[in-house]
Amino acid sequence: MDTLHIARAAGVVTVTLDRPDRKNALTHREWSRLHEVFAEVAERPDDRVLVLTGAGGEFCSGADVSALGDDERSSLEAMRAVGRTATALFHLPKPTIAKVDGVAVGAGCNLALACDLVVASERARFSEIFARRGLSLDFAGSWLLPRIVGLQRAKQLAYFADIVDAATASRLGLVTEVVAAGELDTFVERWAARLAAGPAVALSLTKALLNASSASIDEAVDAEAVAQAHNLGGPEAAEALRAFRERREPHFGGATPASP
C-alpha cells in the first residue's frame, strides 16, 4: 500500500505522509520514495510549490524504528540514503512549506525544518528526540538546527531531547507561523497559492541565494549579481515592469495572483 499520497492543483504539489497508525513514521523504503518525489517535483515545470504534511492529525514521528532490521543495506548505506533525501528537499529549487499538525519529532522534526517555511497548528509538538533513543541527529539536523536557532540552543534541543509546544517552537524560530488547528489548511493553501502565482525563476534563485548565505559577503554579492542579471534578461521581470506601468498585478504564468 502506498503510504505517500501526492495531489496536484494549480501548481501546488501536496505530499501527504499516510501511516497514521504509526504517526506517519517512515521506513527506509519511504525515505527513498520521498527522494524520488522531490526529484520529480524539481524537474516538472508545472510544479511550482511543494507542501509536505501528514495524515491523521500528525506530521511525522521520524524513522520507523520497528522496521530498522528490514533494510538489507548496511546502516551506513541506509543512513546516507536518508541524508540524500534531506539534501534533495533542502535544495529543491521551488518553495516548500511544511504543514505541521501533531508531532514532528526526530527525523520528522528535521523533515519540517528542511522546508523553506513551517506552518504549525497550535497543537503541534516538536522534538529532536534522538538522544532518548541513544542516537545522534540525522536528516541534516546537525546542520539545520544551528542555522535556525543558534549553536547553544541547538545543543540544548539535541542534548535534552525535550518536546516543545508550538508556541515555544515559534519563540525559538523553529516555526514560521502558528495558527489555530481549524485554520491550518486554509492558511497554507493561501500561502501556497501566492507562491504558485509568483515569479518561479526569481523565487528559485532567491532560495538558492538564501540557502548559500553562509558564504562570505563577497561570494554572496557576486552570486546575487549573476542571479539578478539572469532575472533582468528574462520574461518575469519584463512582465513585472509591464504590470507596474499598467497599474495591475503581474501574472507570472502560474495561477491568478492572490491578494496579500
Dist. CA 9–CA 255, nearest whole Å:
10
Domain range summary for the chain, segments of one domain joined by +: 4-195, 199-245
Q: How far is the C-alpha of 90 from the C-alpha of 109, rounded, in Å?
A: 14
238 alpha-carbon distance from chain centroid: 30
**pLDDT value, residue 260:** 40
Distance of CA 168 to the CA centre of its chain: 20
CB 47 within 8 A of CB 84: no
Is the Cβ–Cβ distance between 105 and 163 less than 8 Å?
Answer: yes
pTM over 0.75: yes
d(CA 138, CA 145): 11
SS3 category, 175: coil
pLDDT at 83 over 60: yes
Q: Quick: pLDDT tens for 158-176.
A: 999 999 999 999 999 999 9
- Topology of the domain covering 4-195: 2-enoyl-CoA Hydratase; Chain A, domain 1 (3.90.226)
Neighbours of 192 (CB within 10 A): 28
| Tens-digit pLDDT profile for residues 26-67 | 998 899 999 999 999 999 999 999 999 999 999 999 988 776
Q: Distance (Å, rounded) from C-alpha 108 to C-alpha 98?
A: 11
Yes or no: say if 96 and 50 are a contact pair by the CB < 8 Å rule: yes
Rounded to whole angstroms, how far apart are CA atoms 94 and 45? 10
Q: 75 versus 252: which is more confidently predicted? A: 252
Q: Considering only CA atoms, which of 43, 17, 36, 210 is closest in space to residue 107? A: 17
* Structure confidence by residue, pLDDT tens digits, 85-98: 999 999 999 999 99
